Every structure is written in C-alpha cells, then in structure tokens.
Amino acid sequence: MSGKKKALEIGNDRATVELLKDLLIVELGRASVPQLEIRKIVGCDIHRVSRIVRHLKKEV
C-alpha cells in the first residue's frame, strides 16, 4: 500500500472518530446529561461540548 493511500485511510479513521464523538455529545445532551459529565465521558474540551449542545432544542 502506498504511503499516500495509507495516510488517507488514517485521516478517514480520525474523521470517523471525531464524528462519533460529536454524535455521542449530541445523544448525551439530549439525555440531559450535564455538560461537565459529557466532557468527562467523551474526553474532549468543554468548549466542544457547549458548542454542540447549545444547538439542541430543550424538550418540554
């Protein structure tokens, strides 16, 4: 396998991981998990969590 193709696959793997983290943040936010707990679970920056969660609608 060429180095360029392998680098592309690694890049796609990272993009997939980041997307899955974002989806986990969304689901935990919808489940009303506090943002600090989401940050601990996902293992990311609190700014990333708040940037995503603020777009979720509050359920009544």
What's residue 57's pLDDT? Answer: 79
What's residue 21's pLDDT? Answer: 97
Per-block average pLDDT, block size 10, for the chain (60 residues)?
Answer: 61 87 97 97 97 84
What's residue 13's pLDDT? Answer: 85
What's residue 43's pLDDT? Answer: 96
pTM (predicted TM-score): 0.79
CB burial of 12-46 (b: ≥16 within 10 Å; e: otherwise) equals eeeeeeeeebbeebeebbeeebebeebbeebebee
